[in-house]
Structure 1
């Protein structure tokens, strides 16, 4: 519960209310438009007393719902409106999931697409295009995979329940007991894969793999999405909620921020700098060798967030034998010609809210 009354910290009542929300497994969805919903007449105290609390089943159907604070009239409370708007920010970026590598067919698909790609051009371009083709193939493969995993989980649960109920009525045969055990193994494998995907989405890297925390990870994913979501922005005192206009204003802001102004630059003529020896210089500019490239790859954290291409270093390490020729060739070509293909070194600019109601 948010409150502004000239004092800091949470009161006992506020903590109890927060505990009630957690214990009831309710979600306080983002509040848009204003931070507080109640104002004292003297203007010295204000609080967010009014809100919608929703349960997970409701949010799974209407996950785009937001509560909007409206203008108040004679009341000291602001009316709030629960609104469901489907906001389209454009296509979602691709992301490679570590758990894919444990599934049958994934590594074979990567190898097949990579080796069959007949790309002409210089090394950097071939690497970028092979990554692009691999990404498209994995995206299609994953679309069938997600629904297939849910179907396998439901099928295994149904098979186990059927054998359990039969065991309540009569003695089970050895084949039926074995079939139930196989169903348990399939269920565990698919649940573990689903949990691993949710864990990677939740970014909870301090937790160990294998813990049965699927619901926890799912809630972490939802919480992170809602915290980082942008529902509106203020530009010169005017609130903007349309996605297209928000994109224009954000783009314009960063273009002006990073725009270089023409002016006289400082000169360094006549300043003596320390110089390295010829031996050190030769060591710095010598071509990359295969071993140091491999060591550099192995030293990178496998679970770090990927760039726009969606591939993390776990993919690079696991598929090194498949992609190493292109990666090494690209780095050696870059060293020789100082040329990098457009788009290979791009990155995201992510706007992350630092407050609850930006």
Structure 2
């Protein structure tokens, strides 16, 4: 699809298929695969991504909030969907749309069980999250006994899985810490099985966990950023393909003479004659001000072009001096060169933040 005249986030579904199949190849046969499609599938568009992955055989999906799960159901996604951070105010909506909540505290467990019970439900599927060191959400190891006791008295809910989250699985300097987390989770699972008499699905690995800790794959793994083409280190990223390319277009060219300024607060002052190009995207589209003032570059006809001055809400300006280009030419903000990882690094952040920040007003285009 041509991008002439507009900014578009182009998503390559063949690359998504490649990443899924590569990550699957790292698993033992029978290990289930949970695709994380929260935050609008990391900016790439949750309904089309989830529907495509469902056809490929993904076993589970995960979203952060209830509304994200509802959007998938309304788009036709049938596979189980975990809501990772449900709020009690949405419990009835979760049940109405066949979503499965992550329950992470005694109060949340009790309140959901009451909601399910009041609806006449029995053994509604839930997921119990245990904290093993991330210290964000989750029951503690010492809570296992009272959780099992509560479940025995309240038949409205039944755990489909127990899970935890590795805090630093991508960091080789933190391997000892990760192994402590894995060991702690195994002890929690063993204690739960001993008391409850059954063993739910176990899952702890995120993308980096899949690639670095095969001993912790358990019954299911969760992948987010890896599906979208990033592996958190050069070796693994080389085996993955970024699925999203953010493209824009040159709206207008300007010539600045030495001493002339550009943009708000005169954020760039030309030290020599300079040709600039204005693009129709800005910080309201997800390319924030930290990328301006020469810190970052985009690609114009295969040539790097620095972002000049302060990024505006709806526009940014680049230096195309010496680059053969015209108004209407395509500009690559990130994709292969620069990649989202490379562009994000120039602003002191990570690919996750960059891709999830792409505004919904930016058109998504899908190709296979």
Scaled by the length of structure 2, what TM-score is found? 0.22
User: Which one scores higher on RCO, CA 8 angstroms, separation ≥ 6?
Assistant: 2
Larger Rg: 1
Scaled by the length of structure 1, what TM-score is found? 0.22
